Amino acid sequence: MHPYILDLGFFKLPAYGLLAMTGYLAAYLYLLSVRGRIGASKESVSDLSFFALLGGLLGGKLLFIVTFWDSFGGGRDGVLDALKSLQYGFVFYGGLAGGAAALWYWARRHKAAFAAAADFAAPALALAHGFGRLGCLMAGCCHGAPAGGAPGLAFTDPLCLVEPSLLGVPLHPVQLYESLGNFIIFGLLHFAWRRKTAPRAGSLTALYVLLYSMLRFSLEFLRGDDRGGPLAGLSQAQLISLAAAAAAAAWLAFSARRNKDGK
């Protein structure tokens, strides 16, 4: 694809960074448009967006370093390079954990219930992630395995992050699949959020976790990049997805039971 949207020699504009920022701005504007549902001010939404971005970046970087620690060979320089780069080196579930920690801090700071704040942020997260995966597609990271006879995309730019041995080989467009899946999840969550009868606080977040975990678990089978040492035939992301989906399903079942009992 095109790792750089603009290359002037002295200045390069990476496609990944541009689309990630587009996702961030889209999520921010979305939160502004629905802030009235929880009575949030523009200032508090700006705070939330900033802290979530910071927490997501830090969490994503830290889990990347932990996951691929062996590839750094114990060298400090490799770790520092990964920390400094905004073009690669993020693990989504680490970013999700970091963003959740930032959201908890924001909720305490603004005296808001964490579950309600998480429901407020969940659709925006899916929206931002959809754009982020398009950035992955442009950069060539998080790529698929060889497609065989299935529809595929071939990466030919030597500057992209696809492994050199896979350049020119049609690969499963998993980044595109995940982007589309995230946009669909955003639409479903937005519809649920706009219902006149809101679900129990935390249910929207649980629905997001369940849907995304199912999407991610399935698409991992099509991934062709380094998955960080699979365990029992499953990647790290699949193991996290299974645990997250189980927890989310349990919460939704508990919430439905409580609603049925009128509690």
Tell me the pLDDT tens digit for each residue of 84-112.
Answer: 565 556 788 899 999 999 999 999 998 88
Q: Which of 95, 143, 106, 124 is nearest to 240 (CA)?
A: 95
User: Of 28-37, 55-64, 101-110, which range is least confident?
Assistant: 55-64
3-state SS, residue 12: strand
Residue 226 has pLDDT above 90, yes or no: no
State the pLDDT at residue 61: 85
3-state SS, residue 261: coil
State the DSSP H helix or E strand holding residue 153, giving kind and residue range, or none if neither: strand 153-154
Residue 177 has pLDDT above 60, yes or no: yes
222 contacts 153 by C-beta, under 8 angstroms: no
Tens digit of each residue's pLDDT (9 = 90 or more) over 127-145: 999 999 999 999 998 999 9
Tokens 């849907």 correspond to 211
Residue 102 CB contacts under 8 Å (≥ 6 apart), including other chains: 51, 52, 54, 55, 56
State the pLDDT at residue 3: 78
Query: Against a cut of 0.95, is the pTM above it?
Result: no
Burial of 9 from C-beta contacts in 10 A (0-12 / 13-18 / 19+): exposed
Distance of CA 127 to the CA centre of its chain: 9
Point out which residues pair with 177 in neighbouring strands. none
Give me the chain's average pLDDT, please: 87
3-state helix, strand, coil in the chain (%, to 5): 65, 5, 30
Query: What is the CB-side half-sphere exposure of residue 1 using CA atoms within 13 A?
Result: 23
Average pLDDT over residues 223-242: 84
State the pLDDT at residue 81: 62
